[in-house]
Amino acid sequence: MKKGLTAGILLVLFLFGISVPSHAQLTTLPNGGNKKASVSEWVGITNVVLTYDRPGVKGREGQIWGKLVPAGYTDQGFGTSKAAPWRAGANENTTISFNTDVKIEGQDLPAGTYALFIGYDPSECTVIFSKNATSWGSFFYDPKEDALRIKVKPVPLDNNVEWLRYEFKDQKENSATIALEWEKLSIPFKVETDYIQTQLASFRRELRSDKGFTWNAWVQAAQFCIQRNTDLDEALDWANTAISGTFIGQKNFQTLSTKAQVLALQGKNAEADAVMKEALPLGQVGDVHQYARMLLTQKKSREAFDVFKMNYDRHPNEFTTNMGMARAWSAMGDYKKALAFLQKAQPQAPDQINKTNVEKLLKSLQEGKDIN
């Protein structure tokens, strides 16, 4: 009975083309009770991803570094490598990937996925980025496959780290330090990106995609250049496309004021002023107010006053324009007139944050201090 049933099942599997693997593998914990992990962070617009298995100390304090993780390079008795580094984790290769080119401790490393190995030494460790990211551990490590080697100093930790981990530390716009931490030791290395050039390259690609089908995208790219005072010729091209590009170009306050800002940074002040005169009548009350405040930060008090006044004449006795005139007169040194406009703005404040701000500014004016 059982024999006939088994034969029938096999016949069905055969007829429907279903194979039965002789050694099917079910999902279980990694070998040795280790933990699988993946951690990623963005450094600028570069995505850095680490995938690794986490061994635990498991009561082996004082037995990790120099013993479980041997110093230097060893013959592990398996595979082709007779001088293998540590796999920087457990089980399969620890891998690290970058979607753009980076610098590791100041040395160039192309975008890609790499196996991460470490030649441990208590005074100076060698961190290895190998082009072979698919092997198991370091049994088949070949130095000819190294993409980069860097030297770093291990750092003692105050607290014990039970499970090996990778941490992103000292993060900045264009850099971060990645630290392997286990037991009471950290092995850090610095990753840097050329954020500005990477961002510009990304803009160039995206502006040729569907993302470039609106004027807003071209303004965003140009504004990035304005904020960084970089690649201004290209920024001017982008601003012109936002204004007059086929199908997408629009003449509005944002597009015209962006062009004016680029021209001003290029030292073409007369051209910038002409474009800005065209832009101002197209601006909403908030747009014009913010432009005038920008002029104040540039110490252009007279120009800022004229813009605040124009905004007030178009939108008289509103909270924003009363605030603008208060700032305008304060910048000109007439605190009495500034105070009068601020008192008009006080009951018009739209929320508690603005009410609190007005109260602080009133106090400053009453003490004879500029509110800008």
- Contact in structure between 38 and 165 (CB atoms under 8 Å): no
Average pLDDT over residues 110-125: 97
Q: Are 308 and 328 in contact (CB under 8 A)?
A: yes
What share of the chain in percent tops pLDDT 90?
Answer: 88
The H-assigned helical ranges of 44-188 are none
pLDDT tens-digit map of 282-307: 999 999 999 999 899 989 899 999 99
Going by C-alpha positions, the residue among 57, 79, 78 that lies closest to residue 68 is 57
User: Element (H or E) spanning 129, and its range?
Assistant: strand 125-130
| Pairing mode, strands 46-54 and 107-109 | unpaired
**Residue 18, pLDDT above cutoff 50:** no
Rounded Cα–Cα distance for residues 335 and 330 (Å): 5
Mean pLDDT across the chain, nearest whole number?
Answer: 92
Q: Is the pLDDT of residue 40 over 90?
A: yes
Give the strand order in the sheet containing 46-54.
Answer: 35-43, 46-54, 95-98, 112-119, 125-130, 146-152
Averaged pLDDT for residues 66-78: 94
- Name the amino acid, one letter, at 104: I
Angle, helix 319-331 to helix 301-314, in steps of 10 degrees: 150
Alpha carbons 201 and 289: distance in angstroms, whole number: 33
How far is CA 286 from each of CA 50, 77, 282, rounded to the nearest angstrom?
45, 72, 12
Residue 24 has pLDDT above 60, yes or no: no
Question: What is the band of 16 on the pLDDT scale with cuts at 50, 70, 90?
Answer: very low
pLDDT, tens digit, 9 for 90 and up, residues 193-249: 999 999 999 999 999 999 999 999 999 999 999 999 999 999 999 999 999 999 999
What pLDDT, on a 0 to 100 scale, did the predictor assign at position 97? Answer: 98
For the chain, which domains are there?
31-193 (no CATH), 196-366 (1.25.40.10)
User: For position 26, what pLDDT does the model report?
Assistant: 73
How many CA within 13 A on the CB side of residue 291? Answer: 27
Residue 252 backbone phi and psi in degrees, to 5: -145, 180
Phi, psi of 156 (to 5 degrees): -65, 145
pLDDT the model gives residue 17: 41
Whether pTM > 0.85 for this model: the answer is no
Tokens of 343: 């008192």
Does pLDDT of 19 surpass 50?
A: no
For residue 34, what pLDDT is reported? 79
Question: How many H-runs (helices) and E-runs (strands) does the chain carry?
Answer: 11, 10
Task: Tell how strand 95-98 and strand 46-54 pair up.
Answer: antiparallel
pLDDT at residue 27 tops 80: no
* C-alpha–C-alpha distance, residues 95 and 117, integer Å: 9
Q: How many CB atoms lie within 10 A of CB 50?
A: 22
pLDDT of residue 12: 40
pLDDT digits (tens, 9 = 90+) for 300-351: 899 999 999 999 999 999 999 999 999 999 999 999 999 999 999 999 999 9
130-184 pLDDT, tens per residue? Answer: 999 999 999 999 999 999 999 999 999 999 999 999 999 999 999 999 999 999 9
Q: What is the spatial distance between Cα 120 and Cα 127, in angstroms, rounded to a whole number?
A: 8
Phi, psi of 333, deg, nearest 5: 90, 5
What one-character-per-residue DSSP string does 12-77 give?
A: HHHHTT----TT-----PPGGG-EEEEEEEEETTEEEEEEEEE-B-TT-TTSTBTTTB-SB-B--S
- The residue type of 234 is E
**Which pLDDT does position 298 carry in this prediction?**
85
Q: What is the pLDDT confidence band of residue 13, given thresholds at 50, 70 and 90?
A: very low
Closest CA to 56 of 187, 168, 167, 160: 160
Give the mean pLDDT of 84-97: 95
